[in-house]
């Protein structure tokens, strides 16, 4: 899966990344979906241990164009995990209060606590993407933010947070088909936003902005992965595999268990208990 990782300093041209790639699923979709079920069970167990151990923090950043599948990843990859230890944070247009603070203020409040996995559905990277494409702040302002974001993420990792950043890579034709599907099915009309068409018209500008993000903010402590996302099943397989691999490397341990003698004593007490008092 590391073919999709952006190395620090690597030059990025998104035309070099095939959004239909399925190189790690040589046995096809059916086998991949079986593997995804196994990975999901592993992720459930690892997440429960992470929550119980209460030592590590994990931040997952999802970025991508409209319809790239951020919501789908959250539903499918994290299906079955304990909601006590997993939280989703979405970043919409800043509120007046948020605008009165620095752009990272609202983000820092949503970062994970010990034992927690937090998923950013969009993130602080909107402040070097949308603001750039729509000229919401001057160029000298957003250009400084690459270095600021790297420093912010270094602070988080120094304090014990593991960061994984996924760019969900689709092509314009796939986005068009997904938008049309939303229009063709009345039950999906709520997902269609006319503003998506205006953003789609800026595709080239967004791709250039994403290339700069991937080049300038993929670091040893917070790497970016360009995930082929035209095929939803493959997108979910790759992200699940990378998450499980990362969590396994954290060497998570459940809290100390009771001795056989302690278990026997607690069993004895429970057997003698009169619930009616």
Q: Where does the pLDDT of residue 275 fall: very low under 50, low under 70, confident under 90, or very high at 90 and above?
A: low
| pLDDT tens-digit readout, 68-102 | 999 999 999 999 898 889 999 999 889 999 999 99
> Buried b vs exposed e over 230-267: b needs ≥16 C-beta within 10 Å?
bbeebbbbbbbbbbbebbeeeebeeeeeeeeeeeeeee
Q: What are the boundaries of each domain within the chain? A: 2-272
What is the per-residue pLDDT for 196? Answer: 86
Rounded to whole angstroms, what are the CA distances from 5 to 158, 166, 229, 272?
Answer: 21, 9, 15, 58
Residue 58: enclosing H or E segment and its boundaries? Answer: strand 57-64
pLDDT of residue 277: 57
Beta bridge partner(s), residue 227: 168
Closest CA to 14 of 192, 205, 207: 207
User: Can you give the pLDDT at residue 276?
Assistant: 61
What does the pLDDT look like over 148-201, one tens digit per residue? Answer: 999 999 999 999 999 999 999 999 999 999 999 999 988 888 888 888 899 999
Distances from the Cα of 83 to the Cα of 6, 47, 78, 79, 80, angstroms: 31, 10, 10, 10, 8
- Structure-token pair, residue 144: 């400084």
Only one residue has tokens 């007490």, namely 269
Fold of 2-272: Rossmann fold (3.40.50)
């Amino acid at each position: 899966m590391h073919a999709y990782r952006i190395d620090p300093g690597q030059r990025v041209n998104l035309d070099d990344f095939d959004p239909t790639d399925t190189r790690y699923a040589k046995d096809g979709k059916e086998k991949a979906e079986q593997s995804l079920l196994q990975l999901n069970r592993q992720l459930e167990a690892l997440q429960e241990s992470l929550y119980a151990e209460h030592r590590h923090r994990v931040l997952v950043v999802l970025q991508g164009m409209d319809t790239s599948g951020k919501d789908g990843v959250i539903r499918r990859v994290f299906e079955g995990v304990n909601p006590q230890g997993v939280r989703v944070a979405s970043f919409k247009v800043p509120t007046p209060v948020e605008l009165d603070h620095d752009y990272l203020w609202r983000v820092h409040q949503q970062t994970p606590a010990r034992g927690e996995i937090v998923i950013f559905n969009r993130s602080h990277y909107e402040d070097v993407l949308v603001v750039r494409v729509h000229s919401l702040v001057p160029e000298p302002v957003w250009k400084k933010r690459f270095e600021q974001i790297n420093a912010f993420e270094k602070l988080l990792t120094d304090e014990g947070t593991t960061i994984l950043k996924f760019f969900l890579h689709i092509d314009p034709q796939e986005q068009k088909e997904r938008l049309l599907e939303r229009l063709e099915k009345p039950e999906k009309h709520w997902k269609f936003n006319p503003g998506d068409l205006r953003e789609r018209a800026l595709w080239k500008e967004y791709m250039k902005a994403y290339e700069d993000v991937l080049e300038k903010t993929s670091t040893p402590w917070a790497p970016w992965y360009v995930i082929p996302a035209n095929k939803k099943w493959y997108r979910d397989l790759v992200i699940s595999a990378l998450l499980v691999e990362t969590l396994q490397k954290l060497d998570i341990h459940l809290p100390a268990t009771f001795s056989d003698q302690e278990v026997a004593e607690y069993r004895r007490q429970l057997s003698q208990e009169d619930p009616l008092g």
